[in-house]
Amino acid sequence: MTDVKNLIKVLSVERNLLEYVLYRLVSAKLVLATNDQRYVMQSLVEVEDAVDRLRGVAFRRAELMGEMATRSNTAPLRLTLSVLADRAPTAERFMLIELQADYIRLAHQIEQVSSENRRLADLSLGPTTELLKQLAGMPTGVTYDGDGVQTNGIPGPVQLDEVI
Residue 85 included in any domain: yes
Question: d(Cα 22, Cα 111) in Å, to the nearest integer?
Answer: 9
Instruction: Please report, in tens digits, the pLDDT of each residue of the chain (164 residues total).
Output: 589 999 999 999 999 999 999 999 999 999 999 988 889 889 999 999 999 999 999 999 999 999 999 998 989 889 999 999 999 999 999 999 999 999 999 999 999 999 999 988 888 766 666 655 666 555 555 565 666 666 665 444 444 344 43
Q: What is the pTM of this model?
A: 0.74
User: Is residue 96 a contact partner of residue 8, using CB atoms and an 8 Å limit?
Assistant: yes
Q: For the chain, what is the domain count?
A: 1
Return the closest-CA partner of residue 26 out of 117, 118, 124, 123: 117
Residue 155 included in any domain: no
Give the sign of the dihedral formed by CA 9, CA 15, CA 20, CA 21.
positive
Residue 145 included in any domain: no
Question: d(Cα 49, Cα 28) in Å, to the nearest integer?
Answer: 13
Residue 148 included in any domain: no
Residue 21 included in any domain: yes
Residue 121 included in any domain: yes
Residue 149 included in any domain: no
Residue 150 included in any domain: no
Domain enclosing residue 61, as ranges = 3-138
